[in-house]
C-alpha cells in the first residue's frame, strides 16, 4: 500500500457533470447581478469541482495520455502554483479586511472620527493592493487541440477562480469609500462624513468572513489535490522516475542535524538564514526522492496515519512560507522608500514605523503554529518531514527576530520629545542597501521553498 494511494472508486460526479458545473459558475461570474454572496458560493462550488476533477484523474481510464498531453498537464500543474499563491494571499487579505471592519464598528460606537478615517483609508489601500496582486496572474492560455479533457477542465477552473477573486476585490472596493469633498468644504470641514453605518458594517463583515472561508477552503483543496498521485496502469500523469536518490537517508538526517545546530547558533546572521533556506529546498527534494523509492512504499496503517497527519501539518508550513515571502517583498519596498527619503532629506520616521509594524505582524504568524510531539511509531520518513518542518518554522521565526533589530526608533526622553520635531534616524543609505539585498535573498529563499513544498506534495 503506497503512502498516498487513493482508493479506486467511481467519482461522485461524471466528467460531463463537472463541465456543466464549471460553465454554471462561469455564467454566474459574467452576470451583471453578481453579488459578494454569489462569489462566496462560487468559491465553495469550485472547491467541490476540484475534488471531482481529482477523483476523475485517479480513474485508471485516465492514466494513459500522449507525451504531448502529459507535457500540457505538467504545464497546467505549474500554473496552479500561481493560483495557490493567489488563494493564500486573498485568504489573508480577507482576514485583514475583516479585522479592519471590526475596528471600524468599534470606532463608530466610540465616535472616534480620526481613527474611523484612518481605518477607512487602510481598507481602501488593502483592497487596492489585492487588486494589483490579481493583475499579476497569468494571462489566459489559448486552448490547444491536443488538450485532453482533464487539462481543459483544470485550465478553465483556474481561469474562473482568478476571475472570481478579481470580481471580489472589485465589489469590496465599492462597499466603503471616502466621500469626495470640494476644496472649499475641505478647508472649512474638519470632520469628514462617513458614508457607512454599523449595520452595513456587520453585513460586510459576515460577507468577508464567507469569502475568507471560501478562499481558505479552496487553497487547501488545491494543495490536497496535488497530494495524491494517480494510479499507474500505464504511464501515470505525474509518475516520478524510479532512480537512486541523490543523497541517502542517513546523509539527509546528518544535514538536518547540521541545519538545526546552525539555527540555534547565537552567531546566526541574515545571510546564513538565506543559505539555510536554500539548503532546506535541497533537503525536501532529497526526502521526495527517498519517498519515491519502491522500498518506502509499504508501511503499517499506523505509519500511514502519521504520515497523513504530517502532510496536514505541512499545510501550515506552506501558509507560513507564502506569508513570509510576501512580508519580505513588502519589507524590501519599505527599505527602498527609506533610501529615497534619506536622499531627499525627508522625515523617514513614518517608513521606519511601517517597517517595525510589518515585522511585528509577521511575528504573530508563529504564535499560531503548533508543535507535534514525535511518536515511537513514526517511520523514518515521517521523522524527517517533521524535523524539516520544525527547523523551517524555527528558521523563519529567527529571521523576524533578526530583522526587528536591523532598524529601530531611537528612544527619546520626554524632554527631547517635546523639543525635537524630527526623530534622528539611526541608519544610513549604505546599511539600507545591504539590508535590501539580504531581504531580497530571504524573499527568493522563502518563495523557492514554498514551491518545493507544493511540488513535493504533487509527486
Determine the Cα–Cα distance for residues 272 and 164; give it in Å rounded to an integer: 40
Give the model's pLDDT for residue 2: 41
Do residues 279 and 215 share a domain?
no
| Res 10 pLDDT > 50 | no
Determine the Cα–Cα distance for residues 222 and 374; give it in Å rounded to an integer: 28
Give the model's pLDDT for residue 246: 54
Each residue's pLDDT tens digit, 313-349: 877 888 888 888 888 888 988 888 888 888 888 777 8
| Per-residue pLDDT band at 447 (split at 50, 70, 90) | confident
243 in a domain, yes or no? no
Do residues 105 and 158 share a domain?
yes
Q: Percent of the chain scored above 90 by pLDDT?
A: 3
Do residues 71 and 203 share a domain?
yes
Give the model's pLDDT for residue 375: 56
Do residues 379 and 432 share a domain?
yes
| Res 298 pLDDT > 70 | no
Do residues 253 and 223 share a domain?
no
Give the model's pLDDT for residue 151: 83
Do residues 90 and 208 share a domain?
yes
148 vs 430 pLDDT, higher one: 430
Do residues 113 and 260 share a domain?
no
79 in a domain, yes or no? yes
Give the model's pLDDT for residue 241: 41
Do residues 211 and 334 share a domain?
no
Do residues 209 and 288 share a domain?
no
386 in a domain, yes or no? yes
1 in a domain, yes or no? no
Contact indicator for 259, 391 with CB cutoff of 8 Å: yes
Could you give the number of structural domains in the chain?
Answer: 2
Q: What is the C-alpha end-to-end distance of the chain, expressed in Å?
A: 16
Determine the Cα–Cα distance for residues 70 and 151; give it in Å rounded to an integer: 9
Give the model's pLDDT for residue 371: 58
Q: Is 79 strand, coil or helix?
A: helix
93 in a domain, yes or no? yes
Across the chain, mean pLDDT equals 76
Determine the Cα–Cα distance for residues 250 and 232; give it in Å rounded to an integer: 29
92 in a domain, yes or no? yes
Q: What share of the chain is helix, strand, coil (3-state, %, to 5)?
A: 75, 0, 25
The range of the structural domain enclosing residue 303 comes to 249-412+424-458
pTM greater than 0.85: no
Give the model's pLDDT for residue 5: 42
268 vs 74 pLDDT, higher one: 268
| Per-residue pLDDT band at 180 (split at 50, 70, 90) | low
Do residues 221 and 262 share a domain?
no
432 in a domain, yes or no? yes
| Res 215 pLDDT > 60 | yes
291 in a domain, yes or no? yes
Do residues 392 and 259 share a domain?
yes
| Helix 270-291, helix 249-263: angle, nearest 10 | 160
Do residues 95 and 56 share a domain?
yes
Amino acid at each position: 500500500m503506497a503512502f498516498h494511494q487513493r482508493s479506486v472508486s467511481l467519482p461522485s460526479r461524471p466528467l460531463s457533470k463537472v463541465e456543466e458545473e464549471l460553465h454554471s459558475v462561469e455564467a454566474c461570474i459574467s452576470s451583471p447581478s453578481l453579488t459578494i454572496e454569489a462569489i462566496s458560493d462560487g468559491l465553495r462550488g469550485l472547491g467541490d469541482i476540484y475534488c471531482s476533477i481529482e477523483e476523475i484523474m485517479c480513474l485508471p481510464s485516465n492514466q494513459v495520455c500522449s507525451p504531448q498531453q502529459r507535457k500540457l498537464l505538467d504545464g497546467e500543474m505549474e500554473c496552479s502554483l500561481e493560483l495557490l499563491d493567489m488563494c493564500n494571499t486573498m485568504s489573508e487579505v480577507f482576514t485583514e479586511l475583516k479585522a479592519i471592519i471590526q475596528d471600524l464598528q468599534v470606532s463608530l460606537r466610540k465616535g472616534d472620527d480620526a481613527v474611523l478615517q484612518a481605518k477607512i483609508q487602510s481598507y481602501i489601500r488593502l483592497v487596492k493592493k489585492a487588486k494589483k496582486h490579481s493583475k499579476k496572474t497569468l494571462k489566459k492560455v489559448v486552448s490547444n487541440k491536443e488538450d485532453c479533457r482533464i487539462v481543459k477542465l483544470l485550465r478553465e477552473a483556474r481561469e474562473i477562480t482568478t476571475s472570481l477573486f478579481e470580481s471580489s476585490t472589485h465589489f469590496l472596493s465599492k462597499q466603503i469609500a471616502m466621500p469626495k469633498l470640494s476644496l472649499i468644504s475641505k478647508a472649512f470641514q474638519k470632520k469628514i462624513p462617513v458614508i457607512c453605518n454599523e449595520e452595513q458594517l456587520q453585513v460586510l463583515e459576515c460577507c468577508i468572513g464567507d469569502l475568507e472561508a471560501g478562499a481558505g477552503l479552496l487553497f487547501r483543496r488545491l494543495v490536497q489535490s496535488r497530494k495524491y498521485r494517480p494510479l499507474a496502469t500505464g504511464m501515470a500523469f505525474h509518475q516520478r522516475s524510479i532512480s537512486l536518490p541523490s543523497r541517502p537517508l542517513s546523509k539527509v538526517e546528518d544535514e538536518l542535524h547540521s541545519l538545526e545546530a546552525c539555527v540555534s547558533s547565537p552567531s546566526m546572521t541574515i545571510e546564513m538564514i538565506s543559505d539555510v533556506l536554500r539548503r532546506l529546498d535541497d533537503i525536501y527534494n532529497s526526502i521526495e526522492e527517498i519517498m519515491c523509492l519502491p522500498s518506502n512504499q509499504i508501511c503499517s496503517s499506523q505509519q500511514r496515519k502519521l504520515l497523513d497527519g504530517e502532510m496536514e501539518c505541512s499545510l501550515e508550513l506552506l501558509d507560513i512560507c507564502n506569508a513570509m515571502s510576501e512580508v519580505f517583498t513588502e519589507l524590501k519596498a519599505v527599505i527602498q522608500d527609506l533610501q529615497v527619503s534619506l536622499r531627499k532629506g525627508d522625515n523617514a520616521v513614518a517608513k521606519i514605523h511601517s517597517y517595525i509594524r510589518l515585522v511585528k505582524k509577521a511575528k504573530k504568524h508563529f504564535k499560531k503554529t503548533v508543535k507535534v510531539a514525535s511518536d515511537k511509531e513514526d517511520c523514518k520518513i515521517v521523522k524527517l518531514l517533521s524535523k524539516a518542518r520544525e527547523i523551517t518554522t524555527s528558521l523563519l521565526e529567527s529571521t523576524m527576530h533578526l530583522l526587528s533589530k536591523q532598524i529601530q526608533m531611537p528612544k527619546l526622553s520626554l524632554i527631547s520629545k517635546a523639543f525635537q520635531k524630527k526623530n534622528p534616524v539611526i541608519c544610513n543609505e549604505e546599511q539600507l542597501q545591504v539590508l535590501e539585498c539580504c531581504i531580497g535573498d530571504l524573499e527568493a529563499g522563502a518563495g523557492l521553498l514554498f514551491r518545493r513544498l507544493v511540488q513535493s506534495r504533487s509527486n
